[in-house]
Amino acid sequence: MSTNALPPVVDGETWRRELEALRVREKAATRELDAIAAQRRRLPMVRMPEYILEGEKGPVRLVDVFEGSRQLIVYNHMWFPGKQWQCPGCTGFTSQFTRLEFLDAYDARFVIVTQGPIDEALAYKRRVGNRMTWYSTADSPFGSDVGAPPGGGFAVNVFLRDGDTVYRTWHTNGRGVEQLSHTFALIDLLPYGRQEEWQDSPDGWPQDPTYSRWSSSEDIAGLYGPGQHS
């Protein structure tokens, strides 16, 4: 007999009834997310100044980061100067995005911008096996202007290009970034969930300090770094 905490065991009909009750809330949440996306599409936007970032091949204008697409998603990656291993949350989040070609059909691109000097940023990208295109805002006010200053946190920003003019259309940070992650979506389906202390779970469910089950940057490098993918 297992000594682990378990959900109650019921007959099939009772289980289906409980599942349908939950499904009502799940469908309501889906419709609410649709409504939120509709409101997001109606947000106004703000015109951006011209910025010069540093890319793998040298200085590049923000408008050219689009590489001809009209829409751009930027993940502002946290950066700790002089550290070999950067934020594990940022490292883990961005490691999920290994195939972004589907965005081509939507006239969009997804890139990383960090406060780290470009040479250090690209070395870190290679160390952890990141596939996304990286740019540096170390010598530009761009990061600070979009909510990701030196020493600050991570963020997601979305931009729209009209000719050579760039507009900022959306921003989020903190747990707002979770909606872009498939990891938490999968983990939240599990009976024990994220197993973190802050979560509302039944008595006896395994719960550990927040972040304790997250992969470290070293772990991610071991999984996705040089020689780990074709």
| DSSP track, 107-120 | TEEEEEEESS-HHH
pLDDT band at 229 (very low <50, low <70, confident <90, very high): low
What integer is the mean pLDDT of 160-172?
A: 98
Strands 165-172 and 155-162 come out as antiparallel
Closest CA relative to residue 220, chosen from 133, 131, 149: 131
Closest CA relative to residue 3, chosen from 160, 206, 193: 206
Q: Does 114 have pLDDT greater than 70?
A: yes
| 1 or 5, greater pLDDT | 5
What integer is the mean pLDDT of 194-210?
A: 95
Closest CA relative to residue 211, chosen from 88, 86, 78, 94: 88
Query: According to DSSP H, which parts of 66-173 are helical?
Result: 88-95, 118-128, 142-145
User: Are 177 and 148 spatial neighbours (Cβ–Cβ below 8 Å)?
Assistant: no
Residue with tokens 């550990």: 208
pLDDT band at 230 (very low <50, low <70, confident <90, very high): very low
What integer is the mean pLDDT of 96-116?
A: 96
User: Are 189 and 19 spatial neighbours (Cβ–Cβ below 8 Å)?
Assistant: no
Question: Looking at residue 144, what is its pLDDT?
Answer: 97
Please give the radius of gyration of the chain, using alpha carbons only, rounded to the nearest integer. 21
Question: Looking at residue 4, what is its pLDDT?
Answer: 81
- pLDDT tens-digit series, residues 9-18: 999 999 999 9
What integer is the mean pLDDT of 39-46?
A: 98
Element (H, E) at 74: strand 71-77
160 phi and psi, to 5 degrees?
Answer: -125, 135
pLDDT band at 1 (very low <50, low <70, confident <90, very high): low
User: Are 67 and 104 spatial neighbours (Cβ–Cβ below 8 Å)?
Assistant: no
Query: Of 1-15, 138-152, 190-204, where does mean pLDDT reach its minimum?
Result: 1-15
